[in-house]
Amino acid sequence: MAENLSYEYREGDDVVLITISKTWSGSELRNPLMASCNLLREKSGASYIIDIPEGFAVNAEDLEWIDQHFIPLVKRSCAGRIVLILPEGDERREKCDERFGSQIGYFYAADYENALKVLSDIDIKEEDEKSIKIAGKTKKQWRDHFSFLWFKYSIFLIAIAIVVILLFGIFGRTKNDIIIYSFGYFDLDETYMTELMINEGYKVPYFPEALTVMPNQEGKKATGHEYESVSAYFMAVPDVLVSDGITYGYYYSSFGVFPDSYKKIWDALSEEAKKHCELVYMSAAEAEEFNRKYNAWAGKGDPEIEAALGEDDDDTKAVIGIRLNDKAACEKLGYKSGWEKSDSRLIFSLYAKCADPEKSEKAITAIINSVY
């Protein structure tokens, strides 16, 4: 992230605040803005406050990027309300309205405290208004629901017992100092990974695994209950995610946008390891396509709701992981794929809600470097 261009989540106010200290451009502006949108996805329903300094201006190229990519990304990030901090009478308010007013709704405030008051006044007003609902939920509630837990609808009553058992396995254990969660169509022999993590200094490594089958051309069928396993283990807040080439696209909301972290990992990989790896990029638009593909395959989805949600998917791609292309190396790590012809390559990622990105970076680097 560029120095002095910061973003943070203020829990007491339920606000993601991005503070712009001066004029930035290119990646120094775009990367923090994209990362703040990832934080908005994580803090579903939070409001978004952008503190714009006096004299801040955006060049034509960045304006186009904001039009085509940033605004759709904000809309896809489940932002509650948006407040721009600009002084009253500032001519940039008028310019913002001319440029962006027809694309997205937002409010103005003179400073942060006034921004909170604006949000409070809106809450009071909305409580007095009857929301139009679709199948018992407002449009925003459906959007937030689909964005984060699309697979929730696969939960059946019988799965309650499965979840209880899984949660006991997660939280009933001795405190784990690193959790590496693998989900996909493979079996994992933990021997190699356990020894590796112990050598890295971890005393109680934990390797939960969920077998899951996604749309494929090999005729593999889902049993109907593996999705509950996937959901339950995310509750353990894993440090590292490991998935395969068929599975990862269906769990987009679980991957965080950590461009700085992936750069550190890539720079720390050995030259030999880099020959067998590549960065994996994905966009919200691609994620929605995966979601639609899954719904069609599983016979799920509600046409009325999907029509109400509309089409505003963002095609801005962000790095979400590192792919290991070497099949022998994947097997050395203990992964035996169930796919015969489909993409069985492993993808290592940071979980969107990981507590310590640096810890995750070191673990992924150590895992990949260890096989070369």
For the chain, what percent of residues have pLDDT higher than 70? 76
196 and 81 fall within a common domain = no
pLDDT attached to residue 75? 75
Strand 5-10 to 15-20 pairing: antiparallel
Total domain count for the chain? 2
pLDDT attached to residue 314? 65
123 and 147 fall within a common domain = no
Q: Model confidence over 349-362: pLDDT tens digits? A: 999 888 899 999 99
335 and 274 fall within a common domain = yes
Q: Could you tell me if residue 134 is inside a domain?
A: no
pLDDT attached to residue 370? 96
Question: pLDDT averaged over the chain?
Answer: 79
Q: Model confidence over 280-289: pLDDT tens digits? A: 999 888 888 8
Q: Could you tell me if residue 79 is inside a domain?
A: yes
pLDDT attached to residue 161? 52
Which pLDDT band holds residue 293 (cuts at 50, 70, 90)?
A: confident
Nearest CA to 50 out of 144, 117, 120, 115 is that of 115
117 and 243 fall within a common domain = no
Q: Could you tell me if residue 137 is inside a domain?
A: no
Q: Could you tell me if residue 138 is inside a domain?
A: no
218 and 253 fall within a common domain = yes
Domain boundary among 127, 162, 186: 127
172 and 121 fall within a common domain = no
205 and 267 fall within a common domain = yes
122 and 172 fall within a common domain = no
pLDDT attached to residue 269? 96
82-86, 131-135, 306-310: lowest mean pLDDT where?
306-310
pLDDT attached to residue 193? 93
Q: Model confidence over 246-281: pLDDT tens digits? A: 999 888 888 888 889 999 999 999 999 999 999 999
28-32, 105-109, 226-230: lowest mean pLDDT where?
226-230
342 and 227 fall within a common domain = yes
Q: Model confidence over 217-245: pLDDT tens digits? A: 888 876 555 555 677 678 778 999 999 99
Query: Which amino acid does the sequence have at 31?
Result: N
pLDDT at 52 over 90: no
pLDDT at 164 over 60: no
pTM of the model: 0.56
Q: Could you tell me if residue 239 is inside a domain?
A: yes
177 and 34 fall within a common domain = no
Report how far residue 372's alpha carbon sits from residue 369's, in angstroms, rounded to the nearest whole number: 6
Q: Could you tell me if residue 133 is inside a domain?
A: no
pLDDT at 156 over 90: no
pLDDT at 308 over 50: no
pLDDT attached to residue 154? 45
Domain boundary among 69, 94, 127: 127
pLDDT attached to residue 91? 86
Q: Could you tell me if residue 136 is inside a domain?
A: no
Report the CATH number at residue 257.
Answer: 3.40.190
Report how far residue 371's alpha carbon sits from residue 195's, in angstroms, rounded to the nearest whole number: 13
pLDDT attached to residue 78? 57
pLDDT attached to residue 253? 84
Nearest CA to 43 out of 80, 6, 85 is that of 80
Those residues whose C-beta lies under 8 Å from the C-beta of residue 251, and which sit 6 or more positions away, are 183, 230, 243
Task: Map 297-343 to HEC letters.
Answer: HHCCCCHHHHHHHCCCCCCCCEEEEEEECCHHHHHHCCEEECCCCCC
| More confidently predicted of 89 and 76 | 89
Q: Is the dihedral of CA 42, 151, 323, 69 positive or negative?
A: negative
pLDDT attached to residue 312? 52
Nearest CA to 332 out of 320, 315, 346 is that of 346
Domain boundary among 127, 155, 188: 127
Which pLDDT band holds residue 302 (cuts at 50, 70, 90)?
A: low
201 and 92 fall within a common domain = no
pLDDT at 201 over 80: yes
Q: Model confidence over 312-351: pLDDT tens digits? A: 556 788 899 999 999 999 999 999 998 888 888 999 999 9
Report the CATH number at residue 31.
Answer: 3.30.750.24
pLDDT at 215 over 70: yes
Range of the domain at 94: 5-127
Report how far residue 180's alpha carbon sits from residue 310's, in angstroms, rounded to the nearest whole number: 36
30 and 163 fall within a common domain = no
Q: Could you tell me if residue 229 is inside a domain?
A: yes
Those residues whose C-beta lies under 8 Å from the C-beta of residue 270, and which sit 6 or more positions away, are 369, 372
